[in-house]
Amino acid sequence: MNLKTYLPGDTSSAGQPITLGVMGGGQLGRMFVQAAQAMGYTTAVLDPDPASPAGLISHHHIKTPYADEAGLAQLAQRCDAITTEFENVPAPALLALAAQRTVAPSAACVAVAQDRVKEKAHFTDCAAISGVSPAPHAVITTDAMLAAVPADLLPGILKTARMGYDGKGQARVTTREELAAAWDAMDKVPCVLEKMLRLRAECSVIVARGADGATVSFPVQKNTHHDGILALTEVFEGALDPALAQRAQASTVAIADHLRYVGVLCVEYFVVESATGALDLVVNEMAPRPHNSGHYTQNACDISQFEAQVRALAGLPLPAPRQHSPAIMVNLLGDLWFEPNAVRTQRTERATSPPWAQVLALPGTHLHLYGKLNARPGRKMGHLNITASTVAHVRETTAKVLALLGLPAMGA
């Protein structure tokens, strides 16, 4: 990719304000738009939903399907540079845009993240450099490959090669019979079977890489999931073993460099225990965009992951982010609008706002709602960043927040 710089407040060759575009109008697109506008850029969003969170606040909202030729032409006409907020944007759409405008990340990079088979192969290639490998696995695309699965990969987790996220498109299997039944239930689409390991923790690393190859890393995030969905992220000294954290950061930089990636990239890891009790790191998957686990950067770092996304896309300098406060991020799902909590003690069938006044009365709480008009169980409605001057204080405040919201306590 040619190195181009689009300065805030500047104008294009057509005399129009520099405009940054995003494919996708969800909450990640919304926060990208907010960061871009704060820096003085005009923004454009392509998303078919007229009420999309990013579209509602952008200067321009192109309400067409992602593969619509007229919509893509309009986005290219309006924008100087374009990014994406989700990995399942059609690759041909990104290629069409890249023929006319700067697009980051590239269609080739997004294509790797869209397909677990390609993703595992890329991680395996990078392991020679980083020393961090994916879990033992087998690709299954035919009955013959199913029959050839090594016995030592069971018990394991069968995952569809494409379109799986937040625990969807996955099945735990312990026997060959269960494996065959699970693959049949998935309509025999291409899948990857991963050996089930002794999981001790989950973490992620976010890096930002410019077109010039300059790469900076955010601190390692320790993540807690409930039912396959991120519930809590902890980022402070001592949250994770320092040696493992350093390896995770080095591995993520290697993964980004090997792809010649441009933009913000998140890579997720498992901390696993060997038969001898030693802890090791396994690379799980990557997201070619900002990530839920990086939301804490909005209030705990001098540069957020979304500002880093803007900087990488616009060709601006990428100074190393500095975390100035211990932080914990709480994911806010639509269940909170229905489930009972410490303030609202009875379950309700009608959506009712959680007790934000009580939550925001606690020091260091920062509420980020996504502008979604209807709450639904399981729907990501927002997140809460909690910061403090010490680890003890941030954990204490988080415990109070979780109690008020009726969420499981930390470590539960």
For residue range 278-317, what is the model confidence (pLDDT) as tens digits? 899 999 999 999 999 999 999 999 999 999 999 999 999 9
Question: Burial letters for 387-406: b for 16+ Cβ neighbours within 10 Å, e otherwise?
Answer: bbeebebbbebbebbbebbb
**In the predicted model, what is the mean pLDDT of residues 149-174?**
87
CA count, 13 A, side-chain hemisphere, 87: 24
- pLDDT score recorded for residue 347: 62
Instruction: Burial-class residue 70 by CB neighbours within 10 Å (0-12, 13-18, 19+).
Output: exposed
Sign of the torsion angle spanned by Cα atoms 290, 296, 297, 298: positive
Question: β-pairing, 263-273 with 279-287?
Answer: antiparallel
Instruction: For the domain covering 19-103, report its CATH number.
Output: 3.40.50.20
Instruction: For the domain covering 199-405, report its CATH number.
Output: 3.30.470.20
Band (pLDDT 50/70/90 cuts) for residue 2 is low
In angstroms, the CA 287 to CA 261 distance is: 12
DSSP annotation string for 355-398: -HHHHHTSTTEEEEE---SS--TT-EEEEEEEE-SSHHHHHHHH
Does the pLDDT of residue 348 top 90, yes or no? no
Does the pLDDT of residue 227 top 90, yes or no? no
Q: 235 and 328 in contact (C-beta within 8 Å)? A: yes
In angstroms, the CA 207 to CA 183 distance is: 35
CA triplet 261, 75, 71: central angle to 5 degrees? 115
- pLDDT score recorded for residue 345: 63
Helix residue ranges, H only, 39-174: 69-78, 91-98, 107-114, 116-130, 143-147
CA count, 13 A, side-chain hemisphere, 92: 5
What kind of architecture, by CATH, is found in domain 136-195?
2-Layer Sandwich (3.30)
- Give φ, ψ of 168 to 5 degrees: -80, 155
For the chain, what are the domain ranges?
A: 19-103, 136-195, 199-405
pTM: 0.94
**In the predicted model, what is the mean pLDDT of residues 344-351?**
67
Band (pLDDT 50/70/90 cuts) for residue 1 is low
- pLDDT score recorded for residue 405: 95
Residue that is written with structure tokens 């593969």 in the block: 67
Does the pLDDT of residue 343 top 80, yes or no? no
Percentage, residues of the chain above pLDDT 70: 95
235-280: per-residue pLDDT in tens?
999 999 999 999 999 999 999 999 999 999 999 999 999 878 889 9
- pLDDT score recorded for residue 165: 61
DSSP annotation string for 7-58: -TT-B-TTSPBPEEEEE--SHHHHHHHHHHHHTT-EEEEE-S-TT-TTTTTS
- pLDDT score recorded for residue 381: 97
What is the strand order of the sheet 42-46 is part of? 60-62, 42-46, 19-23, 81-84, 102-103
Q: 173 and 151 in contact (C-beta within 8 Å)? A: no
Instruction: Burial-class residue 230 by CB neighbours within 10 Å (0-12, 13-18, 19+).
Output: buried
Band (pLDDT 50/70/90 cuts) for residue 342 is low
In angstroms, the CA 179 to CA 405 distance is: 39
Q: What are 69's two structure tokens?
A: 């030729």
Q: 372 and 381 in contact (C-beta within 8 Å)? A: yes
57-114: per-residue pLDDT in tens?
999 999 999 999 999 999 999 999 999 999 889 989 999 999 999 999 999 999 999 9
